[in-house]
Amino acid sequence: MKKRILVTGGAGFIGSHLCERLLNEGNEVLCLDNFFTGNKANIVHLLKNPYFEVIRHDITMPYYLETDQIYNLACPASPIHYQYDPIQTIKASILGSINVLGIAKRAHARILQASTSEVYGDPHVHPQVESYWGNVNPIGIRSCYDEGKRCAETLFMDYHRRNNVDIRIIRIFNTYGPNMHPQDGRVVSNFIVQALQGKDITIYGNGLQTRSFQYVSDLVEGMIRMMENEEFIGPVNLGNPGEFTMLELAEKVIHLTGSKSKLVFMPLPADDPTQRRPDISLAKEKLKWEPTIALEDGLKETIKYFKRILDL
Ligand code: NAD
Ligand code: UDP
């Protein structure tokens, strides 16, 4: 049955893929975005669909509409962007959550929060399981994002316990793919753009810190399975358990682009987590979900996208 679905942050990297998939499945999609890090180019091809609507709005201000489901993605996600205006970042998570939870409560809509592996901080438990409470610095430069997202989880759980709002919480691990902004500042886009332009590849610290990279289509599949699940509210990790150092990632990108770029080492930003890998047992059990796209295959698609938009 056709649903009306609100996607906040729908013009961003992940949101644009989600909007497209939901439209292809025959839904009506309301994309709400203030275009801080989102981009019209990500959604312009969807505008010809009469069931797609774009709302320019900042989610830190209340908004009223009728909807069946809400995916709440509105928040800058790259460290460079979320540290640019840290107060606005924490407002996007906290005031934004209060505003969308208010819509969900009034409209009796199911609502999914795009939380993050950052709630685990620099983790002492490896790989990260959902029952781990994390190791987060509350006063550092990443706190506006990490603590904002942690507080958003609290708000979702309290609206659920107190007001019976039908919530879902997913914790997304590092995700990459087409529609990332070339100046986004995250590692996959940085390395690919640098390699394609023959510039130095910027390794922060010694490059031995690890991340697990998930291709965006795998994430979107997991998000929809979570939204459509009738009983399980989460939180659930959605990520690819393959774990790589930043040096390994740089080598792969150089190999796949055939680039002559050299590695340069730069200072490690404060509070940069040293290791990160999801335990996805819960997602496998409850959602019958696991990622299907290997890092090399996802990187090839992402390289193709950047070649196109950089006109190379
Ligand atoms: P993105 O920056 O491309 O998308 C965020 C979108 O939200 C943008 O379109 C931006 O303009 C919009 N936005 C920001 N503040 C807003 C506000 N106040 N009002 C309305 N719109 C606003 O980032 P993304 O990678 O697509 O991330 C989407 C969501 O997923 C974010 O909530 C992020 O925290 C979460 N997440 C992403 C990753 C990842 O690796 N990409 C990992 C964990 C969690
Ligand atoms: N990183 C890097 N070079 C870059 C950008 C990032 O070495 O040009 C490192 C960064 O220090 C971190 C990892 O890559 O250890 C992932 O960074 P990103 O900003 O993509 O995501 P997050 O730290 O939020 O997981």
Q: What is the pLDDT along the chain (312 residues), one digit of tens a residue?
A: 899 999 999 999 999 999 999 999 999 999 999 999 999 999 999 999 999 999 999 999 999 999 999 999 999 999 999 999 999 999 999 999 999 999 999 999 999 999 999 999 999 999 999 999 999 999 999 999 999 999 999 999 999 999 999 999 999 999 999 999 999 999 999 999 999 999 999 999 999 999 999 999 999 999 999 999 999 999 999 999 999 999 999 999 999 999 999 999 999 999 999 999 999 999 999 999 999 999 999 999 999 999 999 987
54 beta partners: 31
The answer for residues whose C-beta is within 8 angstroms of residue 203's C-beta and 6 or more apart is: 246, 247, 250, 263, 264, 265, 266
Choosing from 71, 120, 145, 176, the catalytic residue is 145
What's the predicted TM-score (pTM) here? Answer: 0.97
Q: How many CB atoms lie within 10 A of CB 241?
A: 16
Atom 6, ligand 2: residue with shortest CA distance:
187
Q: Decide: 123 in ligand 1 pocket, CB within 6 A.
A: no
Q: Decide: 175 in ligand 1 pocket, CB within 6 A.
A: yes
Ligand 2 atom with the smallest distance to the CA of 80 is 19
Ligand 2 atom with the smallest distance to the CA of 204 is 7
DSSP E strands, the chain? 4-8, 28-33, 52-56, 69-72, 110-116, 167-172, 175-176, 201-204, 210-211, 214-215, 236-238, 244-245, 263-266
CA of 110 to the centre of ligand 2 (A): 33
The whole-angstrom separation of Cα 131 and Cα 107 is: 31
Residue 120 annotated among the catalytic residues of the structure: no
CA of 239 to the centre of ligand 1 (A): 16
The answer for residues whose C-beta is within 8 angstroms of residue 31's C-beta and 6 or more apart is: 7, 10, 11, 15, 19, 43, 46, 52, 53, 54, 55
CA of 147 to the centre of ligand 2 (A): 19
Q: Decide: 244 in ligand 2 pocket, CB within 6 A.
A: no
CA of 305 to the centre of ligand 1 (A): 19
The whole-angstrom separation of Cα 95 and Cα 71 is: 16
CA of 245 to the centre of ligand 1 (A): 24
Q: Decide: 54 in ligand 2 pocket, CB within 6 A.
A: no
Atom 23, ligand 2: residue with shortest CA distance:
272
Ligand 2 pocket test, candidate residues 117, 149, 246, 249, most atoms within 8 A of CB: 246
